[in-house]
Amino acid sequence: MDTPRIAVWKFASCDGCQLSLLDCEEELLDLVGAVHIAHFLEASSRVEGGPYDISFVEGSITTAADAERIEAIRAASRLLVTIGACATAGGIQALRNSRALGDLVQAVYPAPDLIKVLETSTPISEHVTVDAELRGCPVSRHQLLEFVAAALAGRKPDLPDVSQCAECKRAGTVCVMVAHGTPCLGPVTRAGCGNLCPRVGRGCYGCFGPVDGANCAALSEQMRKLGLDTTAIAALYRNFNSGAAAFVEEAARHD
């Protein structure tokens, strides 16, 4: 690929994933040397029109306007890559998907009439074709760089398809669930974060979302044996990736 034109887009999100690009620090000069940044409002107010070779999309679709905007971005992009839990699974804001929207709006906002949003917070893939998904809350900057480097070289990006457990074991982290009885979503969560929580003795929060074929029911049964009640088990799955199908289903089983 000749110097590709890159765009970064924001939907309903906290900006953390876009910040991961700016967090590249040491690699940032290499990155801007290898690509042309055509649209990245968090980095520059200079805005160039499409088409774009790669569009990185952060955030979920929560308004009718955003649902239209993503169509336009798709049409202007050769590759569309979602970055982070909001764009790939609806994000923490997808917690509202299992509640009545009107009740939530009434409870939160002093002027509910001003709030015009869709009933649910949905991932980008429910609206347009997505070429690749980078997981995480936030996304891993290593994966962002890997994706760009792979696209430039014309090779398949090396994105983990294994569970967090594989990452723990490769890192030599002692299993917090087996050795300490700490509830951990690692066995059903996709690897890629860099083993952040288990290596400091905490259970995995599932930031990278469910691994393919996640057997959440079997894990929940073990959580029950570790002493968690159904409310606590459901809460484990209702987090940054609460909108991911495997977690939606498992949380609902414990309501």
Partner 1 sequence: MTHVNANRSKIKKYRACAVQKTAQALQESFPEDRMGESLFLKDPHRLLEDWLSAGWRVIAPLLRDGALVPDILHDPEELPRGVTDRQSPGSYRLEPGASTRWFEAVVGPQGWKRWLHPPERKLWSARRDAAGFEVTPEAEEWPATIFFAVRPCDLAAIARQQEVFRRAGDPAYAARRAATRIVAVNCGRSAETCFCASMQTGPRAQAGYDLALTEIADGLLLEIGSEDGTALLDARALPAATDAQVREAARLIEAAAASQTRAMPPDIAERLTEVADSPRWEQVASRCLHCTNCTAVCPTCFCTDVTDRTSLDGAMAERWQRWDSCFSPDFSYLHGGPLRRRAAARYRQWMTHKLSNWHTQFGSSGCTGCGRCITWCPVGIDLVAEARALAKGE
- Minimal distance in Å, beta carbon 35 to partner 1? 8
CA distance linking residue 17 with residue 139, whole number of Å? 5
DSSP track, 148-185 = HHHHHHTS------SBHHHHHHHHTPPPHHHHH-----
Q: Which is nearer to partner 1, 76 or 149 (CB)?
A: 149
CA distance linking residue 183 with residue 16, whole number of Å? 26
Q: Which is nearer to partner 1, 76 or 232 (CB)?
A: 232
- Minimal distance in Å, beta carbon 174 to partner 1? 4
Out of 124, 144, 188, 233, which residue is the one contacting partner 1 (CB under 8 A)? Answer: 188
Q: What is the DSSP letter of 35?
A: S
Ramachandran angles phi, psi of 194, nearest 5°: 95, 20
Asked if residue 186 lies in contact with residue 204, where contact means CB atoms within 8 angstroms, the answer is: yes
Asked if residue 86 lies in contact with residue 59, where contact means CB atoms within 8 angstroms, the answer is: yes
Q: Does 174 bind partner 1 (CB under 8 A)?
A: yes
Residue 197, exposed/middle/buried by CB under 10 A (0-12, 13-18, 19+)?
buried
Annotate 77-87 with b (16+ C-beta within 10 A) or e (fewer): bebbbbbbbbb
Q: Which is nearer to partner 1, 12 or 177 (CB)?
A: 177
Site string for partner 1, 141-160 (x = CB under 8 A): ----xx-xxx-xx-x--x--
- Minimal distance in Å, beta carbon 247 to partner 1? 15
Out of 62, 173, 239, 242, which residue is the one contacting partner 1 (CB under 8 A)? Answer: 173
Q: Which is nearer to partner 1, 60 or 88 (CB)?
A: 88
Q: Does 252 bind partner 1 (CB under 8 A)?
A: no
Ramachandran angles phi, psi of 37, nearest 5°: -85, 110
Q: Does 212 bind partner 1 (CB under 8 A)?
A: yes
Q: Which is nearer to partner 1, 89 or 214 (CB)?
A: 214
Residue 194's SS3 state is coil
Q: Does 2 bind partner 1 (CB under 8 A)?
A: no
Asked if residue 13 lies in contact with residue 84, where contact means CB atoms within 8 angstroms, the answer is: yes
Out of 65, 68, 119, 170, which residue is the one contacting partner 1 (CB under 8 A)? Answer: 170
- Minimal distance in Å, beta carbon 69 to partner 1? 29
Q: Does 179 bind partner 1 (CB under 8 A)?
A: yes
Q: Which residues bind partner 1 (CB under 8 A)?
A: 27, 30-31, 33-34, 145-146, 148-150, 152-153, 155, 158, 161-163, 165-166, 169-175, 177-181, 184, 186-188, 201, 212-213, 215, 217-219, 221-222
